[in-house]
Amino acid sequence: MDNIDTELLRTLPKAELHLHLEGTLEPELMFALAQRNGMPLPYDSVDALRSAYEFGNLQDFLNLYYQGAAVLQTEQDFYDLTLAYLERCARDGVVHVEPFFDPQTHTARAVTMATQFRGILRALADGKERWGITSCLILSFLRHLSEEDAVVTLQQALPWREHFVAVGLDSSEKGNPPEKFQRVFDQARALGLKAVAHAGEEGPADYIAQALDLLKVVRIDHGVRCSDDPVLVQRLIDQQTPLTVCPLSNTRLKVFSDMSEHNIMQLLERGMRVTINSDDPAYFGGYLLDNYLAVRDALGMTREQAVQLARNSLTSSFLDGDSLNNHLARLEQLAQSS
Ligand code: ADE
Ligand code: ZN
């Protein structure tokens, strides 16, 4: 079977369900914000910074990612960051986004929750108006910090309760199992928030089961290590739990040594509800469409498989009603056109 062509892939309506806003900070914007805020950066140039983006594992990346995020100081900085990402989405045929942000990365530097929410929400509203991109924001807890810190963060976010739909869990996975955050996830769900969590990126398959059983997540972020446990694989297929897989991230962080080794198409063919996402595109060499193309080029992707992946992204999103049905109808129409 032939691979899908690039322009059709671009046109398919797609949702992005695993994207860290701080991970969209391109080196050029990082330098511009550092200058605007009078902050020195430990690199001489954009090129020098970009050439530091060689990672042996997740922690190598996180060290640079938190350092980079320190240039985000003002409401306008969060606005500029978010709007630049949405502009990329518009070009790539992304019709709906569910971005994460990490409030603790910023409150730890005395950048208030209000500053973060105001900038991000204003950009999401402008993205809807300019490009019709719908969004659901996800507040993510840093798992290398304590559960008490996450509880305080949830409290600080309560004035914006109407403006985010879910909580997430990210940062250093190994040694920080989902069970560490059971109480704060209970509290979040009691507030009517949905739950998602990074699990099975570098950490073991057991963390995926913990996220499902203890945190009651409705999606698993990454989840690719599920392959180590055939019983878990069958459970994910039976329950149709979405996995938000990030192929370029996984190869840049050495979860897989090469894209040709990635298991995403095997999981798709087994009937798992997998989706393609970009995670931290400014650091991993590509936005959403680039991730689809990298998978297609390394593993092959027919039109049917591409449509299934795009369909999975829409049906795994927090959209419902007309907004979901309209995107799906457009997708099916394109799927049938010659
Ligand atoms: N924060 C940003 N990107 C992440 C990733 N891929 N895994 C864990 N935490 C992250
Ligand atoms: Zn992530």
Supply the pLDDT for residue 1. Answer: 75
Whole-number Å distance, alpha carbon 201 to ligand 1 midpoint, is 9
Segment 311-333, tens digit of pLDDT: 999 999 999 999 999 999 999 99
Within 13 Å and on the Cβ side, how many CA atoms surround 104? 22
pLDDT at 84 over 70: yes
Sign of the alpha-carbon dihedral angle for 76, 77, 82, 85:
positive
Q: Is the pLDDT of residue 117 over 70?
A: yes
Q: Is the CB of 104 under 6 A from ligand 1?
A: no
C-alpha atoms less than 13 angstroms from C-alpha of 26 in its C-beta half-sphere: 13
Sorted by where each begins, the domain ranges of the chain are 6-337
pLDDT score of 147 more than 80? yes
Catalytic residue among 22, 98, 201, 202: 201
Nearest to 272 by CA among 260, 280, 264: 264
Q: Express as a percent the part of the chain with pLDDT over 90.
A: 99
pLDDT at 338: 66
251 Cβ contact partners less than 8 Å away, ≥ 6 residues apart: 257, 258, 259, 262, 294
What is the full DSSP assignment across 100-142? EE-HHHHHTTT--HHHHHHHHHHHHHHHHHHH--EE--EEEEE
Tokens of 331: 């997708």
Q: What is the per-residue pLDDT for 314? A: 98
Tell me what pLDDT residue 337 has. 86
Atom 10 in ligand 1: which residue has the minimum CA distance? 171
The mean pLDDT value of the chain amounts to 98
Nearest CA to ligand 1 atom 9: 171
Is residue 118 lining ligand 1, measured as CB closer than 6 Å? no
Q: Is the CB of 22 under 6 A from ligand 1?
A: no
Distance 62 CA to ligand 1 centre (A): 7
pLDDT for 95 equals: 98
The Å distance, Cα 168 to ligand 1 centre, comes to: 11
Residue-wise pLDDT for 237-275, tens only, equals: 999 999 999 999 999 999 999 999 999 999 999 999 999
The bridge status of strand 100-101 relative to strand 194-199 is unpaired
pLDDT at 135: 98
204-236 pLDDT, tens digit per residue, is 999 999 999 999 999 999 999 999 999 999 999
Beta strands in 194-307 (DSSP E): 194-199, 219-222, 243-245, 274-276
Task: Name the pLDDT band for 124 (thresholds 50, 70, 90).
Answer: very high
Residue 332: other Cβ atoms inside 10 A: 12
Ligand 1 geometric centre to CA of 59 (Å): 9
For the Cβ of 24 lying below 6 angstroms from any atom of ligand 1, the answer is: no
Ligand 1: residue whose CA is nearest its atom 8: 171
Q: Is the CB of residue 198 below 6 angstroms from any atom belonging to ligand 1?
A: yes
How are the residues of the chain apportioned to helix, strand and coil, as percentages rounded to the nearest 5? 55, 10, 30
Known binding positions for substrate = 280
What number is the average pLDDT over the span 167-171? 99
Pick the CATH number of 6-337 from 3.30.450.20, 3.20.20.140, 3.10.20.340, 3.30.390.50: 3.20.20.140
Active site includes 201? yes
